[in-house]
C-alpha cells in the first residue's frame, strides 16, 4: 500500500529495503496469512476461497485446504493479481520490529486494517463536523465596524495614518489640518 504523504516522515529511511526483506526474505513472496503468491493471477470466489495452482487445490482465507466449490462455479470465479505489502500489525509506523511487521496480500491487509480505517474515517468526519460548526459560528458573528464605514476604494479605518488624513483633507479642499502638530497642543 502506498504511504500517505503526511505519514511518510514516520517511516525510516531504509523502509523499502526493510519491506523487501520481510516480503521476500522472511515470507518468501507469499502472504503470511493466506499464502497467496506475490505477482500471480489468482482465481478466487470472493468469499476468501482461492485456487492454489502450485498445490492444485482450493484454499480458504487463512491458507488452509478448503472444499471444492459446487457445480456452476464458473459464473462466480474472479481473477485477481496478488501484490504483497509489508504491514504494521499494531498500526504504528514507528514500530519497525520484525515481530510487528507482516507480509500481507491486499485482501488480508484490508481485513487487518478495517478497524483502523473505520476509526480514522470516524475521526475525520468528527473533525469536519467540528470545523463546520466553528465556521458557521464565525459566519453568524455580527460585523462591527469602528470609525467611518469602508467604501470601495478607501482604506479601512485602522489603516489611516496622520499623513493619509492630511492628504485626504487637502484633496477635499480643507486646509484646517496642519502639517505639523500645533505648539499650543503640546503645552
pLDDT of residue 169: 52
In a domain, 138, yes or no: no
Beta sheet of 41-44, edge-to-edge order: 57-59, 50-52, 41-44, 78-81
Instruction: Identify the burial level of 131 via C-beta atoms within 10 angstroms of its C-beta, where 0-12 means exposed, 13-18 middle and 19 or more buried.
Output: exposed
Q: How many residues does the chain have?
A: 187
pLDDT of residue 156: 56
In a domain? residue 148: no
pLDDT of residue 159: 55
Answer for the pair 179, 169: CB distance below 8 angstroms, yes or no.
Answer: no
Residue 24 lies in a domain: yes
What is the rounded distance in angstroms from the CA atom of residue 1 to the CA atom of residue 92?
Answer: 15
Distance CA 63, CA 55 (A): 12
Location of C-alpha cell 487637502: 170
User: What's the domain count of the chain?
Assistant: 1
Predicted local confidence at residue 44, as pLDDT? 83
Please report, in tens digits, the pLDDT of each residue of the chain (187 residues total): 677 788 788 888 889 999 999 999 999 999 998 888 998 888 888 777 888 888 888 888 787 877 777 777 766 788 888 899 999 999 888 889 999 999 999 989 998 989 988 988 888 888 888 777 766 666 766 666 666 655 566 555 555 555 555 555 555 555 554 555 555 545 4
C-alpha span between 62 and 105 (Å, rounded) = 12
Which residue(s) pair with 73 in the sheet? none
DSSP letter for each residue of the chain: -PPPGGGGGGS-TTHHHHHHIIIIIISTTB-TTT-PBTT-EEEE-SSS-EEETTTTEEE-TTS-B-PPP-TTGGGT-EEEE--EEEEETTS-TT---GGGEEEEEHHHHHHHHHHHHHHHHHHHHHHHHHHHHHHHHHHHSPP---SSPP-TTSPPGGG--HHHHHHHHHHTT---S-SS--HHHH-
Does residue 141 lie within any of the structural domains? no
Question: 0.85 exceeded by the pTM?
Answer: no
The answer to whether position 31 is within a domain reads: yes
Grid-cell match 479605518, residue found: 157
State the residue range of the domain holding 87: 5-122
- 89 lies in some domain: yes
The residues that bridge with 50 in the sheet, in sequence order, are 44, 59
Task: Tell me if 156 is assigned to some domain.
Answer: no
Domain assignment present for residue 153? The answer is: no
Amino acid at each position: 500500500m502506498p504511504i500517505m504523504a503526511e505519514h511518510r516522515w514516520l517511516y525510516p529511511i531504509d523502509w523499502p529495503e526493510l519491506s523487501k526483506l520481510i516480503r521476500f526474505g522472511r515470507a518468501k513472496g507469499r502472504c503470511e496469512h493466506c499464502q497467496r503468491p506475490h505477482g500471480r493471477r489468482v482465481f478466487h470466489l470472493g468469499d476468501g476461497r482461492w485456487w492454489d495452482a502450485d498445490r492444485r487445490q482450493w484454499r480458504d482465507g487463512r491458507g488452509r485446504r478448503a472444499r471444492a466449490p459446487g457445480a456452476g462455479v464458473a459464473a462466480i470465479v474472479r481473477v485477481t493479481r496478488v501484490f504483497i505489502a509489508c504491514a504494521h500489525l499494531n498500526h504504528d509506523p514507528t514500530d519497525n520490529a520484525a515481530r510487528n511487521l507482516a507480509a500481507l496480500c491486499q485482501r488480508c491487509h484490508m481485513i487487518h486494517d478495517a478497524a483502523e480505517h473505520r476509526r480514522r474515517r470516524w475521526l475525520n468526519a468528527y473533525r469536519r463536523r467540528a470545523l463546520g460548526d466553528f465556521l458557521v459560528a464565525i459566519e453568524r458573528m455580527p460585523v462591527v465596524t469602528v470609525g467611518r464605514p469602508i467604501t470601495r476604494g478607501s482604506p479601512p479605518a485602522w489603516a489611516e495614518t496622520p499623513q493619509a488624513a492630511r492628504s485626504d483633507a487637502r484633496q477635499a479642499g480643507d486646509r484646517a489640518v496642519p502639517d505639523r502638530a500645533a505648539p499650543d497642543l503640546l503645552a
